[in-house]
Amino acid sequence: MNFTLWRDVRGYWAVCDGPGPLGVVGYIFGDNGKWRIEKDEQNRPFLDYLSAASALLGKELPEGVHFFELKRGEEIAFVATNDETAKRLQTDGWTTTAVLRSN
């Protein structure tokens, strides 16, 4: 499953159904120890970013999500995704400069 979370300038995470950064479904953000979906009418709290992203996408995310710092030219991006999608981003010209393994 290809999905990505791209960090934006506000500190929110753009949830993409695909490798991104296009195809944004919505945004999630941390708020006082809980995660929320931007513009969620029910204002539901989530325990972590993966459950919030999963609710936004309407499907369960695979295990093995890691944080990547990517670079393409002068552009730097912070992305959460799995190894498979990270490899796909490399074919789009992104270089991995750092990885934080989450498990």
Same domain for 25 and 53:
yes
For residue range 65-96, list pLDDT tens digits in order: 999 999 999 999 999 999 889 999 999 999 99
Same domain for 46 and 8:
yes
Same domain for 9 and 50:
yes
Tell me which residue range forms the domain holding 47: 4-57
Same domain for 8 and 49:
yes
pTM of whole model > 0.85?
Answer: yes
Same domain for 52 and 13:
yes
Same domain for 43 and 81:
no
Q: Which of 36, 14, 10, 31 is nearest to 23 (CA)?
A: 14
H or E, element range at 41: none
Residue 52 in this model has a pLDDT that exceeds 70 = yes
Domain count, the chain: 2
Same domain for 53 and 17:
yes
For residue range 22-43, list pLDDT tens digits in order: 889 999 999 888 999 999 999 9
Same domain for 52 and 84:
no
Distance, CA of 71 to CA of 86 (rounded, Å): 12
Same domain for 44 and 23:
yes
